[in-house]
A and B are shown apart, each in its own frame.
Chain A
Amino acid sequence: MMTLHLWVSLVLATLVYAALASALLAVLFPAQTPASRWSVVAVVAAVVAALMALPGQTAALAAWAGFGRFSMTSGLLALLYLLHPLFLSRPGWRHMALPDGQRRMLIFGVIVAGLVLYPAALGMALPGTATMDIQGSGFGDFRLATILLCLGLALWVLRAYHLCLLLVAAQCAFALQLLPSGNLWDYLIDPWLWLGGMLTVVVALVRPGKAAGPVPSSRA
């Protein structure tokens, strides 16, 4: 029986893989039409959904493909990416697209959070964090909630509304336990998002003019 966790995980994985397919298409076939791109995205989404719905979706391959493990942030970013051409096509909707400044802030935040969290999960504590249980703070800890509130307020002052809403969405999804995890960190970031952020930085350093941006052509 499909539980709510599996449904939400299915939607998130579908969004992420559809966004990846869309990005790949934008690179391989820059002159594509919006209809062809949406068709391919729909096919990818259907394939991912079918794969996840198959029995044994908890197998190792599925786990490594991120099924059931994508964070809310990854899913919502993928949705923003897929809707990006639509936002750009309507003059009054451009504000809804993720601005470059916020994208950079997001990448920076994801990388820092991943550096704090994942080495600690592997037993490699960063200097100064040896006695802290960073991963454990995700099980409902007022200190982490307060830090996130302060971070959100800083973003709010900077009018980085997209990031504020991403943060609130992850926190509310945690309260509703929409994902198969009881840890707030798993709603905020995931290893694939972290690796994506790192890859983005590497690409930006190697090819400054090609800094990754979720910006398909505005012709779409």
Chain B
Amino acid sequence: MQEPQVPDSANGIGQSVRHFFQRKGLHLGIGALLVLGYYASLPGHLWQASPAYQIAPVPQRAASAAPTDGAVAVPLPLSVRDGHSPSWVNLTAGRLQAFWQDQGALHTAVYTPAGGEQEHGHWSDVETLPAHVHGGSEGLARGVVLVSDGNDQLNIYSVQGGATAALTLAVQDGTQWHMHTGPLLSPLPGQRVSLAGPVARKTDGSLAMLARRGERLVWLRVSAEQGRPYIAGQQRLPDEQNAGTAILLANSGDSALQWLTPAAQPGPLLWSGTADRGERWSVPQPLTAAGAVAPGNSLATLRLAAGDWGLAVVSEGGAVQWYRGQDAGQRWSTPVTLSDRGGQCRRPDGEPTGAPALTLAADGMVHLLYADAGCRLRHQIFSAAWTGESS
């Protein structure tokens, strides 16, 4: 092939371009670019296993203690007629921060357990978070995920942006909030996307949180870089389209369980397991010990030890029941009714609300937050070892 002539006009440039296109160098160059594209589309450059689940040490408490109302003073119980999904965030020094939604706002109060000169635990005054940190009532309707960074600073993940649903992170800095807009959450405009907690932490600092896109449920692995959230991975749920919601419960670094509640009608509680950090899940099977449970947000879970789990389930009749599973689900305790106040709290549109929230405090006591049939928020404290025989 001849070398191109030095161009002296537009046609000369055209000649040289044509010759360049015909040269083998271009062919090899584009081949090299394809290899570059391969590496560019592969952030890890090589196959990488999903990071392991982070397992926090579980405080133990041997004594068996029956549920007691934790609210010895204001603010609980409170009416949450329009609210949903109370949740807990564990703070330092054994304190617990409760969140609940009502009237399109996100409220919070901090519970300080008994200790020292305090004979009883006590609640702080109720605060209402600024609307922009969660996107107001629209953002709350799409769900928020609340995480503490370990220094009592709150991180709030929400879905904001109308039809272009984007993952948004609000980072608390004292009394200030820093807002960071992350990636789009759906490939299609206008598709409804929502988030749900609680999250499972991974060893690389990422969080596994539930997202619903239309009828599909997926586990998003969310990380943040310089405050800006990004999605590091995604895993599908088995039988996702028949699930009202799902909760991920890490059992060890490699294994986890996911619990699926029925979507529309009362039905069995399903569970499946993974032993490879979520790459593959077993076929969901019903937890026969639980019987029929209420649809939607009707479940809270707790890891008490490896292969030892606690479940708070809203039964078909609306009672909150406590189950203890041991030997990796081989043995289940007889359910203990924590609250039987005559049914589930319902919003004016008839949708059930008031899903329970569980957490394990530093003193080993289990704290339950739920809305009773009268839509009043209630707080109960009991020992995980409680079998229902004491009162």
B18 & A95 in contact (Cβ 8 Å cutoff): yes
The 10 closest A-B CB pairs, nearest first, are A92-B14, A136-B234, A63-B163, A171-B37, A175-B40, A168-B37, A182-B183, A60-B163, A140-B43, A152-B34
Selected interface stretch from A13-21, A33-41, A115-123: A115-123
Interface size on A, residues (CB 8 A): 57
B41 & A184 in contact (Cβ 8 Å cutoff): yes
Rounded to whole angstroms, the CA-CA distance of A58 and B236 in the bound complex is 28
CB distance from B383 to the nearest CB of A (A): 40
A165 & B30 in contact (Cβ 8 Å cutoff): yes
A69 & B38 in contact (Cβ 8 Å cutoff): no
B162 & A145 in contact (Cβ 8 Å cutoff): no
Return chain A residues, CB-CB under 8 Å to B183. Answer: 180-183
Rounded to whole angstroms, the CA-CA distance of A145 and B45 in the bound complex is 10
A90 is an interface residue with CB less than 8 A from chain B: yes
A59 is an interface residue with CB less than 8 A from chain B: yes
A110-155 CB contacts (< 8 Å) to partner B: 117-118, 121-123, 131, 133, 135-136, 139-142, 144-146, 148-149, 152-153
Return chain A residues, CB-CB under 8 Å to B236. Answer: 131, 133, 136
Partner of A148, one of B11, B36, B37, B186: B37
| With A168-B36, A183-B183 as contacts: A93 and B14 at CB distance below 8 Å | yes
Return chain A residues, CB-CB under 8 Å to B232. Answer: 139-140
Rounded to whole angstroms, the CA-CA distance of A170 and B37 in the bound complex is 8
Return chain A residues, CB-CB under 8 Å to B14. Answer: 90-93
* Secondary structure class of chain B's binding surface, majority of residues: mixed
Return chain B residues, CB-CB under 8 Å to A121. Answer: 186-188, 191, 213-214, 216
Rounded to whole angstroms, the CA-CA distance of A172 and B241 in the bound complex is 34
Rounded to whole angstroms, the CA-CA distance of A114 and B47 in the bound complex is 26
Name 14 A/B residue pairs within 8 A (Cβ), A-sorted. A63-B163, A63-B189, A64-B189, A69-B189, A90-B10, A121-B186, A122-B214, A135-B234, A136-B235, A139-B233, A140-B43, A148-B41, A182-B231, A183-B231
B184 is an interface residue with CB less than 8 A from chain A: yes
B187 & A117 in contact (Cβ 8 Å cutoff): yes
Residue ranges of B at the interface with A (Cβ–Cβ < 8 Å):
10-11, 13-18, 21, 26-27, 30-31, 33-44, 46-47, 161-164, 166, 181-184, 186-191, 213-216, 218, 230-236, 241
B44 & A140 in contact (Cβ 8 Å cutoff): yes
Partner of B33, one of A168, A182, A185: A168
A78-128 CB contacts (< 8 Å) to partner B: 90-93, 95-96, 117-118, 121-123
Residue ranges of A at the interface with B (Cβ–Cβ < 8 Å):
3, 58-60, 62-64, 66, 68-69, 90-93, 95-96, 117-118, 121-123, 131, 133, 135-136, 139-142, 144-146, 148-149, 152-153, 156, 159, 161, 164-165, 167-168, 170-172, 174-175, 177, 180-186, 191
Rounded to whole angstroms, the CA-CA distance of A133 and B281 in the bound complex is 13
B233 & A136 in contact (Cβ 8 Å cutoff): yes
B162 & A58 in contact (Cβ 8 Å cutoff): yes
Rounded to whole angstroms, the CA-CA distance of A144 and B44 in the bound complex is 13
Rounded to whole angstroms, the CA-CA distance of A39 and B45 in the bound complex is 45
| With A95-B17, A191-B189 as contacts: A180 and B184 at CB distance below 8 Å | yes
Return chain B residues, CB-CB under 8 Å to A96. Answer: 17
Rounded to whole angstroms, the CA-CA distance of A81 and B11 in the bound complex is 22
B164 & A63 in contact (Cβ 8 Å cutoff): yes
A64 & B40 in contact (Cβ 8 Å cutoff): no
Rounded to whole angstroms, the CA-CA distance of A133 and B31 in the bound complex is 29
Return chain A residues, CB-CB under 8 Å to B214. Answer: 121-123
